[in-house]
């Protein structure tokens, strides 16, 4: 590659390895920059303005954030986000439990695994409608069951003390299915010699699970926690479908609150909405940074 006479060809040949990656990256970086990276910066900028989305923007500094600090809806949303995050974590042990239950080799087990995974494949809109019906007072399946057992009628989604939990339960359904599939594949890659050795030493049941299996499932657990955290903080669809933030705004989370402020009948307050989005973004960045730092460690070791 060193002694080539034609000049343009020699330039290309000499620098091919340096230029080629940028050519391959160009379409992806352009699209991702235009629709993801640049809008993040724009949103941060917009959060310092008062803007209805059409007219002129008016610079107001930190006023949106100051207003946010004294907005009750903001605290309700934040509290609900935390509730989502905590309860969503249940999908990790529950997903593991179902994966362990299904990790057998009886006839037809493949079909069972697929059917258990079903809730993750269908749209959250459909999940939301299904659960709205499931919870519906008088004729919903669940309230039917509750009525038979306790004798009283419960309207879960109309009760501001219960509604958030009702929506979270609906979200857990597909999330557990997702975690289950991660663990099922994780269980496939487990070192069976080590299990047999531990069994020889008399390890059984919980002991075996806790000391041998769970440590080996580390990578699957990590991914399960990441997708669960992201899923919890991204929750929007189910709230929009099942309660529209109600009753009395009690099921709002930051993502839905932001949407309401920026784009719905509550008024086109783009600047205020952007400020809410920035807060949510910063919360998520904590988790994203932790995730990326750990990936970086893995890359260095690889």
Partner 1 sequence: MFPMPVQKAAPWVRVGYQILLPIALIAWLLPLLGVAVTSIRPAGDLAAGNYFGVPSYFAGVENYTAVFRDSPIGWYILNSFKITIPTVIGAVGISCLSGFALATYKFKANLWIFFLFVAGNFIPFQILMVPVRDFSVRTGMYDSIYGLILFHTAFQAGFCTLFMRNFIKGLPFALIESARVDGVTEWKIFRHIVLPLMRPAIAALSVLIFTFVWNDYFWATVMVQGQHAMPVTAGLYSLNGQWVAAWHLVSAGSIVAALPPVAMFFLMQKHFIAGLTLGATKG
Binding to partner 1 (CB under 8 A) within 37-56 occurs at: 37-40, 42-43, 46, 53
Told to check if 288 binds partner 1 by CB under 8 A, we report: yes
DSSP-assigned states of every residue in 214-243: HHHTHHHHHHHHHHHHHHHHH--HHHHHHT
Residue 248 CB, nearest approach to partner 1 (Å): 21
Told to check if 297 binds partner 1 by CB under 8 A, we report: no
Burial class (CB in 10 A: 0-12, 13-18, 19+), 104: exposed
Taking the C-alpha atoms of residue 26 and residue 39, their distance in angstroms, rounded to an integer, is 18
Residue 191 CB, nearest approach to partner 1 (Å): 10
Told to check if 121 binds partner 1 by CB under 8 A, we report: yes
**56: CB partners within 8 A, 6+ apart:** none
Near partner 1 by CB under 8 A: residue from 139, 193, 206, 265? 139
Residue 164 CB, nearest approach to partner 1 (Å): 18
Near partner 1 by CB under 8 A: residue from 87, 89, 155, 187? 187
Site string for partner 1, 71-100 (x = CB under 8 A): ---------------------------x-x
Q: Residues 118, 114, 224, 35: is their CA dihedral positive or negative?
A: negative
Site string for partner 1, 227-266 (x = CB under 8 A): x--x--xx-xx--xx------------xx--xx--xx---
Near partner 1 by CB under 8 A: residue from 129, 146, 155, 225? 129
Taking the C-alpha atoms of residue 115 and residue 129, their distance in angstroms, rounded to an integer, is 19
Told to check if 299 binds partner 1 by CB under 8 A, we report: yes
Helix/strand/coil for 47: coil
Between residues 39 and 75, which has the closer beta carbon with respect to partner 1? 39
Q: What SS3 string covers 198-221?
A: HHHCCCCHHHHHHHHHHHHCHHHH
Determine the distance from the C-alpha atom of residue 100 to the mean position of all C-alpha atoms in its chain, rounded to a whole number. Answer: 23
**102: CB partners within 8 A, 6+ apart:** 109, 112, 113, 116, 180, 184
Stretch that binds partner 1, among 58-66, 71-79, 153-161, 207-215 (CB under 8 A): 207-215
Told to check if 181 binds partner 1 by CB under 8 A, we report: yes
Residue 52 CB, nearest approach to partner 1 (Å): 11
Residue 192 CB, nearest approach to partner 1 (Å): 6
């Amino acid at each position: 590659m060193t002694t080539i006479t034609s000049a343009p060809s020699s330039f290309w040949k000499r620098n091919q390895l340096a230029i080629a990656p940028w050519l391959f990256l160009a379409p992806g970086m352009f699209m991702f920059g235009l629709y993801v990276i640049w809008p993040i910066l724009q949103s941060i900028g917009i959060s310092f303005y008062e803007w209805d989305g059409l007219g002129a923007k008016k610079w107001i500094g930190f006023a949106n954030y100051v207003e946010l600090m004294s907005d009750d809806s903001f605290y309700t949303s934040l509290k609900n986000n935390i509730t989502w995050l905590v309860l969503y974590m249940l999908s990790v042990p529950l997903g593991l439990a179902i994966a362990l239950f299904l990790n057998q080799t009886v006839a037809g087990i493949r079909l069972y695994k697929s059917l258990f995974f079903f809730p993750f494949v269908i749209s959250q809109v459909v999940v939301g409608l299904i659960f709205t019906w499931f919870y519906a007072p008088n004729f919903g399946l669940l309230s039917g069951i509750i009525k038979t057992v306790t004798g009283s009628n419960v309207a879960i989604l109309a009760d501001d003390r219960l509604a958030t939990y009702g929506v979270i339960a609906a979200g857990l359904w597909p999330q557990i299915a997702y975690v289950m599939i991660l663990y099922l594949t994780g269980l496939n890659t487990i070192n069976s010699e080590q299990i047999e050795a531990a069994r020889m030493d008399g390890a059984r049941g919980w002991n075996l699970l806790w000391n041998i299996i769970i440590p080996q499932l580390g990578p699957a657990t990590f991914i399960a926690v990441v997708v669960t955290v992201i899923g919890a903080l991204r929750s929007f669809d189910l709230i929009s479908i099942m309660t529209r933030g109600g009753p009395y705004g009690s099921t709002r989370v930051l993502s839905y609150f932001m949407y309401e402020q920026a784009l719905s009948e509550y008024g086109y307050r783009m600047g205020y909405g952007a400020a809410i989005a920035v807060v949510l973004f910063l919360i998520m960045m904590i988790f994203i940074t932790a995730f990326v730092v750990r990936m970086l460690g893995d890359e260095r070791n690889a």
